[in-house]
Every structure is written in C-alpha cells, then in structure tokens.
C-alpha cells in the first residue's frame, strides 16, 4: 500500500510498510522504550523552498534499532489504488546526494516523487542530511 504525504507545498509518496505508526507529533525526546526521538519537518528536510507545516499536523513514526524518527507532515492519505511507480532514470539516481528517492509516479498527471522513508530515517539517525539542511543548521 502507498501513502500520499503532503507538506506545505509538496506531495510525496511512500510505502505504508516503511512507517510504523502515524499520529500526532509528540513532545517527548525519548520513545516508550527509551530510544531517542529524532523529530523533523519532512518538507524543509527535502526542499529548502518548502516551509514547515503548521496547524493540524501528523507525524510518521519510523522505529529503528537505536533511534525513533518522527517526520512531520500536513496530511497523510492512504491511496486505495496504488499508482505505478517508475524508477528514476539512471543518470538521475546516480547524482542524488542521498538515495532517498526510489521512483516517480503520476497522480492526476503530475509527477510525484516516491520516498524510501526507512532509508531516509536511517540516514537521519546517522546524522546524514541533504546539503541545504546542513547549511541551515
């Protein structure tokens, strides 16, 4: 199953099984098993032109061995009909800073990027981010 994620200005897809839980963002800095929580706004994490979401927001929780990652988005929808996800062209995937995008699908004729959220979460836990996020810190 595929989830459609909305940030302030962008839409992304991800595999539902990459996400362990969806709910309201927490404020605690550790989860119920004592793992530190890394909490990030998905929009600005991926695109410096995408402002943080405000108001009613949702958190996608991805549990790793030693960390839990919460990715904050504006909206989450389960797509009843899974779109066909096409792999990125080789000359594009070879140039990505981090391999967080595994494909592209067309939704209402608009391209939407499909994210590997488990890889993204694992990289965040290792302190890896896209260049614009590192510069912003």
Partner 1 sequence: MQPSSAQPVSPGEYLVFRLAAERYALLGSHVREIMRWRSPTPIPGAPPLLPGIINQRGQILAVIDLRLLLALPAAAPDRATRLIWLHHEEFDAALLVDSVDDLIAIDATQLEPSPANMPDPAQRLIRAIFRYHDQPVAVLDPAAIFALAQEAT
Q: Binding residues for partner 1, per CB under 8 A?
A: 10, 46-47, 86, 88-92, 94-98, 100-101, 104, 106, 109-113, 115, 130
Alpha carbon dihedral 122, 119, 26, 132, in 10-degree steps, equals: 90
| Residue placing its CB nearer to partner 1 in the complex, 22 or 98 | 98
| Residue placing its CB nearer to partner 1 in the complex, 89 or 136 | 89
Min dist. Cβ of residue 106 to partner 1 (A): 6
Q: Do 99 and 28 meet the contact criterion of CB atoms below 8 Å apart?
A: no
| Residue placing its CB nearer to partner 1 in the complex, 38 or 85 | 85
Both tokens assigned to 39: 């909490």
Handedness of CA 52, 58, 59, 60 (dihedral sign): negative
Min dist. Cβ of residue 86 to partner 1 (A): 6
| Residue placing its CB nearer to partner 1 in the complex, 31 or 88 | 88
Min dist. Cβ of residue 92 to partner 1 (A): 5
By C-alpha distance, which of 131, 128, 98 is closest to 115?
98
Min dist. Cβ of residue 52 to partner 1 (A): 16
- 3-state SS, 79-113, equals ECCCCCCECCCHHHHCCCCCCCEEEEEEECCEEEE
Instruction: Give the integer Cα–Cα distance in Å for 86 and 94.
Output: 16
| Residue placing its CB nearer to partner 1 in the complex, 78 or 93 | 93
Min dist. Cβ of residue 60 to partner 1 (A): 16
């Amino acid at each position: 199953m595929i989830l459609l994620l909305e940030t302030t200005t962008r839409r992304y897809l991800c595999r539902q099984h990459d996400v362990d839980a969806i709910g309201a963002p927490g404020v605690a800095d550790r989860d119920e098993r004592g793992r530190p929580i890394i909490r990030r706004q998905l929009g600005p994490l991926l695109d410096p032109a995408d402002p943080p979401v405000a108001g009613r927001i949702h958190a996608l929780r991805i549990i790793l061995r030693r960390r839990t990652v919460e990715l904050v988005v504006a909206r989450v929808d389960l797509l009843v009909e899974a779109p066909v996800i096409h792999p990125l062209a080789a000359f594009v995937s070879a140039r990505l800073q981090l391999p967080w995008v595994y494909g592209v699908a067309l939704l209402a004729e608009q391209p939407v990027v499909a994210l590997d959220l488990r890889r993204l979460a694992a990289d965040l836990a290792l302190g890896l981010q896209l260049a614009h996020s590192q510069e912003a810190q």
